[in-house]
Structure 1
């Protein structure tokens, strides 16, 4: 059967991934309310297309942090991608480059900064960062990212601890023994080991991540690099304003794929207030729940300048490596281009906020 949409890739990936890896990638925190909400919130938004407009010539390219990309969809950081395919992050980075868009490498990757830089030299690459208890570990990662040609740092701000992910607890999740966290050399930071009490990834985070991080650490990070800083994991206008005041280049509205605080809003729900608060001062991105081109359209209409995909790229990677990721991005791009035409738009600038409304507008009829 041909793979016609993202759901087809997801189902195929579910059939080929080992249970330990599949459950890690697909699960959310707690009862997975926020995980489901990420999709439900998009489905509660209605599109209001305009008609009888000449849409024969369309352009879906945009600019992100001063760099031109061919579509407003990038790759979000996702850990340990060699569990999905032997080439892991290197394959995903090459796919992003082939599509002319952004790839974000996770700190907890199974391919190192240097490996990804060598494998995808022409890809626009960003590096996602966690702050470790040992600040030298974090500072060295920043220096290596700069040296390897990464163009931005994406600081995850919503993970002083990891959410309780029941699937990982049940599976006693650990990184397969033939893999390691490739950005490190010390055994305490390279391995996610099986534990008797539950998830190995949560034990790793609890042992090494700094739970005391604060806005002062954002100041510190800005003081040690000239790279633009994206703050990922913000869901309130209040925090977005603090971030903008500290000079963040962008705010990435995200609930960590529903994997942190169960009960937190979907990013698409939080997006409008954050755009109102800081959209004239820095770029605003969104990740979480984006599964088709109309989702991209909705996010852009509500003020996002870029959206990022996490799990969808993993499904493509698991199915057919680099080609699978290219195919998934091509699907999303085609669907977005189609949505643009049917909504009466020729470019991203034509997408207006009044083209998206909540379903409650129609429930009153």
Structure 2
């Protein structure tokens, strides 16, 4: 079967993967309302395309934290990628590098920072969960820095793991042949079986619930790397993130896996962008499946987007070739959307190119006098 869009990989992944692995990647928290809304909210934003503009040359390049990339489409951190495919994070790193974009490696990767660095050149960020043992955190951040990672994406929405009922039903745990590679030498690489979700038990045992804004400052004392705060949904927290010295914000609801009934990230984006007042870049993850979604996020002020589930689903289906294909399809769709909207570079994409359901009704210009 020929794959013509990113979403088609999900059904293939469902056929290929064991139920426990597929459900872990696919499910959201509780009623999964936010999981649906992450997609549905994009569908309520419509275009106001401009016509008769020369779109023979279109430039998708951009810079993120000073690094030049080929397009504003990057890879979000997703855990346990070797559960999807034996090559796991290696394949994802090579695909991102080939596409000229950024990969973010999860703390809970099944390949270590050093192993991912060994796949060759590429711009990579490291996603961080803060463990109760701060020495473990400091050690890990130093390793990421030494391995050439360029930024830390600090996940701030997970003091406790969200209630993912599929994982509870499946008694989710990592397959026995896999470990959390970054923590292997620290005796924190194994996840025990539990009466509910093994991951939830692991998190309650290891992750620091006392994490607060002062820890963003603490991180800056142990690393020179810029810190992206991942998991911001409000103007209030945006302003505190700026005061705390964050280098950027990722508007994220953790793929709808934490608190259900938070808004879709595309619905929360504009509030965060307005509060940031251009003082730091704002990115988005959650629900992006089309090039049109990328355009909508940029029109609402995002500097770029990150994709998560499309990576693990395409990885399960076709390994590295699948991830390459996802990045290629999104790139081509985004370029097409730009052309048909009359935009030749990212700076041409404006708020006037879209209309949302929270906009004021537009006052149309009065009829022009007849000449």
Residue of structure 1 equivalent to 2:346: 348
Contact residue 182 and residue 190 of structure 1 kept, 8 A: yes
**Aligned pairs for 1:262-281 within 5 A:** 262-281=260-279
Match of 1:199 among 193, 197, 200: 197
Contact residue 231 and residue 250 of structure 1 kept, 8 A: yes
Shift in Å, 1:359: 4.1
Give the Cα separation in 2 of the matches to 1:194 and 1:103: 30
Contact residue 180 and residue 190 of structure 2 kept, 8 A: yes
Residue of structure 2 equivalent to 1:144: 143
Residue of structure 1 equivalent to 2:87: 87
Is residue 100 from structure 1 mapped to residue 100 from structure 2 by the alignment? yes
Shift in Å, 1:360: 6.6
Query: How many residues in Structure 1 have an aligned counterpart in Structure 2?
Result: 362
Contact residue 132 and residue 207 of structure 2 kept, 8 A: yes
Distance 1:194 1:245, change over 3 A: same
Give the Cα separation in 1 of the matches to 2:167 and 2:50: 46
Residue of structure 2 equivalent to 1:325: 323
**Aligned pairs for 1:1-365 within 5 A:** 1-119=1-119, 121-186=120-185, 188-195=187-194, 197-359=195-357
- Secondary structure of 1:185's partner? helix
Contact residue 184 and residue 190 of structure 2 kept, 8 A: no
Give the Cα separation in 2 of the matches to 1:17 and 1:321: 13
Give the Cα separation in 1 of the matches to 2:306 and 2:116: 19
Give the Cα separation in 2 of the matches to 1:288 and 1:133: 28
Give the Cα separation in 1 of the matches to 2:46 and 2:156: 31
Shift in Å, 1:273: 1.0
Contact residue 38 and residue 266 of structure 2 kept, 8 A: yes
Unaligned runs of at least 5 residues, structure 1: none
- Secondary structure of 2:90's partner? helix
Distance 1:137 1:80, change over 3 A: same
Shift in Å, 1:111: 0.3
After superposition, the CA RMSD in angstroms is 1.4
Give the Cα separation in 1 of the matches to 2:54 and 2:9: 34
Shift in Å, 1:279: 4.0
Residue-by-residue CA offset, 1:46-85 (whole Å, 9 max, x unaligned): 1110011111110111110001100100000000000000
- Secondary structure of 2:258's partner? coil
Residue-by-residue CA offset, 1:97-147 (whole Å, 9 max, x unaligned): 00000000000010000000001x311000000110000010001000010
Give the Cα separation in 2 of the matches to 1:205 and 1:351: 41
Give the Cα separation in 2 of the matches to 1:256 and 1:89: 19
Unaligned runs of at least 5 residues, structure 2: 363-371
Contact residue 279 and residue 303 of structure 1 kept, 8 A: no
Shift in Å, 1:15: 1.1
Distance 1:325 1:256, change over 3 A: same
Q: Could you state the TM-score of these two structures normalised by the residue count of structure 2?
A: 0.95
Give the Cα separation in 1 of the matches to 2:118 and 2:134: 26
Contact residue 17 and residue 84 of structure 2 kept, 8 A: yes
Shift in Å, 1:185: 2.4
Give the Cα separation in 1 of the matches to 2:114 and 2:337: 38
Larger radius of gyration: 2
Shift in Å, 1:361: 6.5
